[in-house]
Amino acid sequence: MLLVFCYNQTMERKELFKKIALSIFLIFILNFIAGKFYWYYTIWYFDILMHVFGGFFIALLLFWLLKIKEISLKTILEIILGVFIIGVAWEIFEIVFNNIIAGDPFNMLDTISDIFCDLAGSCLAIVYFFKKITFKNKNKL
């Protein structure tokens, strides 16, 4: 049996856009501060946190860009696949940048953990999206 949720799209698109703007602003501010205070080098888990935030942001952005009218298993898989593709593309960029420009050696464990953190962020965004829809639908009954 396929689980499908339908919702009022226009109101949620505006609210979702606000959440997307807030999350990218938060990522920008955290990245700026981290660069100034060397948090990526001094706080070992900061990179993990940023990848989770990044996966969350990309998943919400995909929900908004795809103009989803119903949430099904197919939709969830599309969102996760989209975040995975963008995460892999980002890691390829990091590998090329680090090896060619910075001269840092490739770290397979870091790359794999970054992709999993991106996916964890996308799962959090999916849960967040589900909760927003189910609570709104319950309140309307």
Domain boundaries, the chain: 13-132
Helix (H, G, I), strand (E, B) or coil at 71: strand
Residue 2 is predicted with a pLDDT of 43
pLDDT tens for residues 48-95? Answer: 999 999 999 999 999 999 887 677 899 999 999 999 999 999 999 988
Mean pLDDT of the chain: 86
Rounded mean pLDDT, 114-121: 98
Among candidates 1, 4, 18, which has minimal Cα distance to 76? 4
Residue 84 is predicted with a pLDDT of 98
